[in-house]
Structures are given as structure tokens and as C-alpha cells.
Chain A
Amino acid sequence: KNQVEQSPQSLIILEGKNCTLQCNYTVSPFSNLRWYKQDTGRGPVSLTIMTFSENTKSNGRYTATLDADTKQSSLHITASQLSDSASYICVVTPRGSTLGRLYFGRGTQLTVWP
């Protein structure tokens, strides 16, 4: 069973609308949780990082929240733009992680229509 589950698998919204992507994880204990944006045919780019003691982090129109008690995170995108069309990946680092050990979600594919 994947330890990081994302929903929805795909999402279509109109330009200018807001949306929220979900990430549920079972990795425990964990060190941090990141959200990455991956454009088609490109490598992922880090959007936000939160440690287990943080519950919100913003990066422009992107706001990530974290509830360590329920093991849930969300990424809220405000006033979407066409350039937001991409896959958004939730990544959890276990506490005490050996080098390279990360748990990746399968991503949510977001499409923004004009």
C-alpha cells in the first residue's frame, strides 16, 4: 500500500477559480512534507515545505496546510492561471530518514481551462 495517497487523481478547473488538492499519508513519524509542481516533460520543482510542527505555508498563490494529527495535507491554489496546469506531487520525508529515502504520492494532474 502506498504510504502517500493523493486525491483527486485529476482535476479540471476554469481559469481564475480556486482549487484544493489533498494528500493523506501514513508515514510516521515524519520529518517534513513537501509539495512539488511538475510541468509536463519537466522535472518537479519544490513549492512548499512544512515540518511536523508547522500547519501552514504559503508561496504566492499556493498555500499548503498540514494536520499532523489526522496525517493530512492540502494544497490550495488561488485564482488559478493557465500556467498552473501541471502535476502536483506530495512528498513525505520520514524522521531519521537515511539518505534518499522519500515517499512520493502519485500526483494530482491539474488542468486549467481558459
Chain B
Amino acid sequence: DGGITQSPKYLFRKEGQNVTLSCEQNLNHDAMYWYRQDPGQGLRLIYYSQIVNDFQKGDIAEGYSVSREKKESFPLTVTSAQKNPTAFYLCASSIDGAPNQPQHFGDGTRLSIL
């Protein structure tokens, strides 16, 4: 079945440590996105990418980095510069990023600080 796979489901980070969240899709979608979800808040856009080797900052990119070396993969690195990383992280994709195309979401990674 086609879909978006995020791993791991749960992740723990020590202070000063970088961690990488995986996002893989087999939907053949060009556009991919990373969101952060905090309790009682709407999803906030971290980074997005329309094509391979190209990505753009979203609203809250500070302390995060991404890469898009392959169409199906869009990993997110939470760096030590991100002072409040505890959150639920969602990866999404859409066919080409057009407004009429729905975004399909993975099941998220919950990141916590040890």
C-alpha cells in the first residue's frame, strides 16, 4: 500500500544532541513537508520541499535542518540549537504542492527530552 512512513514512533534526545527523524513516501509525490504539533496548537510548518535538492524554510525553521537527496525521502534533523524540541512531528506529502491537492500525513514521531 502507498503511504508515508515516519520512524521512529518515539524518540528521546539528550541535551546538546542532534537527532534525525525519518520520513519516506512511496506515493511518487513531488512535494513534502515537515510540521510540528504542540498540545492545544495548530500545526506549524518547519520546512517544505517541492523537488529533489530544493527546500524552503517554513514558519519555525530555526534549530532544524532538512535534506532532499531523493524524491521519496525527506529527513528532518533537530539540532541542539532547538531549545524546546519536545513535540509531535508530522511529515506530509502532496502530488505537486498545488493548493487543490490534499496533503497526506504520516503517523508522526513523538520527540521527548531526557
Residues of A within 8 A of B (CB): 2, 4, 9, 31-32, 34, 41-46, 49, 51, 89, 93-95, 97, 99-107
**A51 to B101 alpha-carbon distance, docked (Å):** 12
Interface centre among B4, B104, B110 (most CB of A within 10 A): B104
Tell me if B102 is interfacial: C-beta within 8 Å of chain A.
yes
**Of B45, B90, B100, B104, the contact of A100 (CB 8 Å cutoff):** B45
How many B residues face the partner with a CB closer than 8 A?
27
**A76 to B57 alpha-carbon distance, docked (Å):** 36
Q: Are A43 and B42 in contact (CB under 8 A)?
A: no
**A100 to B90 alpha-carbon distance, docked (Å):** 14
Please indicate the chain B residues that have their CB under 8 angstroms from the CB of A95 in the complex: 99
Residues of B within 8 A of A (CB): 4, 6, 31, 33, 40-45, 48, 50, 56, 58, 90, 92, 97, 99-100, 102-108, 110
Q: Are A31 and B99 in contact (CB under 8 A)?
A: yes
Please indicate the chain B residues that have their CB under 8 angstroms from the CB of A106 in the complex: 40-42
**Of B56, B107, B110, the contact of A99 (CB 8 Å cutoff):** B56
A-B contact pairs, 28 of them (CB 8 A): A4-B42, A9-B40, A32-B100, A41-B107, A41-B108, A41-B110, A43-B106, A43-B108, A44-B105, A45-B105, A46-B102, A46-B104, A49-B100, A89-B42, A93-B99, A94-B99, A95-B99, A97-B99, A99-B31, A99-B48, A99-B97, A100-B45, A100-B48, A102-B43, A103-B42, A104-B42, A106-B40, A107-B42
**A93 to B102 alpha-carbon distance, docked (Å):** 10
Q: Are A34 and B100 in contact (CB under 8 A)?
A: no
**A99 to B99 alpha-carbon distance, docked (Å):** 8
B67 to chain A, nearest CB (A): 17
